[in-house]
């Protein structure tokens, strides 16, 4: 192999535990603060970061690299789907109280423009469309370094309320 | 970081070029034959493989690992989306003649069951629903080691005919 | 206007009440038995019928007519979406016990072939992909009179358990 | 049947022909001008109207009625899907030059809030997300009389260029 990449991560069990023992926004703000011990392993694997988190809105960034490529010469759609899924999920997470959790039911991603290393830094913003006691819907917009919309997604999450 | 993983890949440009200069099924069969020089960089990054390819049907495999985890203790939905997007795209690719290409327009992924390292080897089968001269639709089914359906996807691809 | 169509329906309130006071399959079997007092108003409006109902699987039929046409000379995609949404919802409904209800969270419909009056009778089969205590996923396949797949859909429903 | 409704429509063939012999925006503006001879039959059937059309953006309105109800006491999701599909399609249509056409490949509709006759007049706005030579993506937002977002959709259309 001509190129290699090495990444590391921490035991995800304590992180997942923390995700239920503090409010969503407190948890996300620690990750956005670049506490790398808190980052999701998959974020280290693919190389994306949560960079902003407020209640109801989050931003992730990813710098496209050759290691994201599909066999046909562009960033694999799944990498964009992963970025979108992170943003739609975290937007919902940002509104959860301590003790609550969520799980993603589905996501639809629309690919508006091919992404390559020439696209520059991608910013993916997740926002909540609807937040109820049992279900939440959110959307994500991915823009490239020129501000062009390259992908859009909508997703549905199930909210897991704390046990009484 | 407590855990690390290193992966390698080859220059994707020659692979992408090959993808247009032979029939889709010939290209995919070489990848399925474990010619690692041909594998997509993202497949090395996340650790999934094309294991079967026939005209109109492909199978990918992925062994869930901790490096696929999201911050809430399970395989990130984006990893399943990547697997599905590979399968829906490759199913379409398998029917393309020499000189033709494709690009994915959208994908919807439904997450039916949480996936963890306990799920065992995932098999993702992609099949073509409709194949026309300009557009093709395909679907993917992901089963875990017990044969339980854990994810489903449908996708639309644009077909790029060879220039006359 | 050169053509007219008149349809009738019954007060939907008693029907909606019945939908919660008997099991889903009992309710659906009465509709499938052509008890027109039980049919949904929208089914009378567009002209489609539930013709088969078993636990986990339902079939609806619709004969395409000119009144289903969009401005560009074919059956409007929304008519196919309505047929699919009926089938995905009723498939979930067929598994609900007495007292439970459901609501549809989202649906994605893929249009595989244009439908016109020449397509003949459409049959739309809804089946359950996953049925849990809080959420269910289902899919629908629409075939024309020749057996060609003309549309496919996947949908997510929230299950409303009886109050304790 | 306790209630009845009668609607009329015109032969859709000349309308469909007109749809290809003038620019999309000219065609849509005539419909929005309440030239009922131009309305789609399905719009008469369900009772919705195009009320605004500019290049890249359209608005449809529908007043929810009992004839839109599903068996469980609310407006059928398919009615909202039809409204969304009209808006996403017409938004694309508004940018087509004379001689070009389009066909819808897929739509995903997210249902954010149950709609009943108490929701009042629904307004559905369709906008273009991406417009290329072969494919266009668009989205729709449906709000009720209070301005609450009740549904959202994204859709992909294939563009049919005039024959050279």
User: Does the structure show a pLDDT above 80 at D3?
Assistant: yes
Q: Is D92 helix (H, G, I), strand (E, B) or coil?
A: helix
ipTM for the complex shown = 0.95
Tell me the percentage of chain D whose pLDDT exceeds 70: 96
Q: For D45, how many CA atoms within 13 A lie in the half-sphere containing its CB?
A: 27
C34-45 per-position pLDDT tens digit: 766 677 899 999
Q: How confident is the model at residue D2 (pLDDT cuts 50, 70, 90)?
A: confident
User: Does the structure show a pLDDT above 90 at B45?
Assistant: yes
For residue A123, tell me if it sits in a domain: yes
Q: Do B156 and D106 touch (CB under 8 A)?
A: yes
Higher pLDDT, D2 or B139: B139
Q: What is the mean pLDDT of chain D?
A: 94
Domain count within chain B: 1
User: Does the structure show a pLDDT above 90 at C72?
Assistant: no
Nearest C-alpha of chain D: how many angstroms from B66? 32
Tell me the percentage of chain C whose pLDDT exceeds 90: 82
The one-character DSSP state at C69 is B
The whole-number pLDDT of residue D118 equals 97
Indicate if the alpha-carbon torsion angle B137, C150, D128, C104 is positive or negative: negative
Of D108, D113, D129, the CB nearest to A108: D108
Q: Does the CB of C104 have a partner CB in chain A at under 8 Å? A: no
φ/ψ of D79, rounded to 5, equals -65, -40
Q: How confident is the model at residue B64 (pLDDT cuts 50, 70, 90)?
A: very high
For residue A2, tell me if it sits in a domain: no
User: Does the structure show a pLDDT above 70 at D157?
Assistant: yes
Tell me the residue range of the domain where C54 lies. Answer: 12-160
For residue A4, tell me if it sits in a domain: no
D47-76 per-position pLDDT tens digit: 999 999 999 999 999 999 999 999 888 999
Q: In a mutagenesis test of the D interface, which of C5, C18, C72, C74 is the best target, namely the one with the most D β-carbons within 10 Å?
A: C72
Q: What is the mean pLDDT of chain C?
A: 94
B104-116 per-position pLDDT tens digit: 999 999 999 999 9
How many whole angstroms separate alpha carbon C151 and alpha carbon C85?
12
For residue B37, tell me if it sits in a domain: yes
For residue C7, tell me if it sits in a domain: no
For residue A109, tell me if it sits in a domain: yes
> Residue D109: closest CA among chain A residues belongs to which residue?
A154
CATH number for the domain harbouring residue A113: 3.10.129.10
Q: Which two tokens stand for residue B53?
A: 């390819």
The whole-number pLDDT of residue D37 equals 62
With 0-12 / 13-18 / 19 or more C-beta atoms within 10 angstroms meaning exposed / middle / buried, residue B73 is middle
Q: Does the CB of A135 have a partner CB in chain C at under 8 Å? A: yes
Measured between beta carbons, the chain B residues lying within 8 angstroms of A71 are: 12, 15-16, 19, 27, 31, 38-40
Q: Is the whole-model pTM more than 0.95?
A: yes
For residue A5, tell me if it sits in a domain: no
Q: Does the CB of D105 have a partner CB in chain B at under 8 Å? A: yes
For residue C3, tell me if it sits in a domain: no
Measured between beta carbons, the chain A residues lying within 8 angstroms of D112 are: 129-130, 137
Positions of chain A with pLDDT under 70: 1, 35-37, 164
Q: In a mutagenesis test of the B interface, which of D110, D158, D159 is the best target, namely the one with the most B β-carbons within 10 Å?
A: D158
């Amino acid at each position: 192999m001509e190129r290699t990449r090495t990444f590391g991560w921490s035991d995800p069990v304590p992180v997942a535990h923390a995700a239920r023992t503090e409010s969503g926004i407190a948890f996300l703000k620690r990750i956005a603060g670049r506490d790398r011990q808190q980052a999701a392993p998959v974020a280290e694997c693919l190389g994306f970061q949560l960079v902003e988190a407020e209640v109801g809105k989050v931003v992730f960034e990813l710098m496209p690299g050759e290691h994201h490529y599909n066999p046909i010469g562009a960033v694999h759609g799944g990498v964009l789907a992963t970025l979108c899924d992170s943003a739609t999920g975290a937007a919902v997470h940002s509104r959860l109280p301590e003790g609550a959790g969520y799980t993603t039911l589905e996501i639809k991603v629309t690919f508006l423009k091919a992404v390559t290393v020439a696209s520059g830094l991608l910013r993916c913003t997740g926002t909540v469309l609807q937040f109820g006691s049992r279900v939440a819907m959110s959307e994500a917009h991915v823009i490239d370094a020129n501000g062009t919309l390259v992908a859009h997604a909508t997703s549905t999450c199930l909210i897991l309320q704390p046990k009484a």
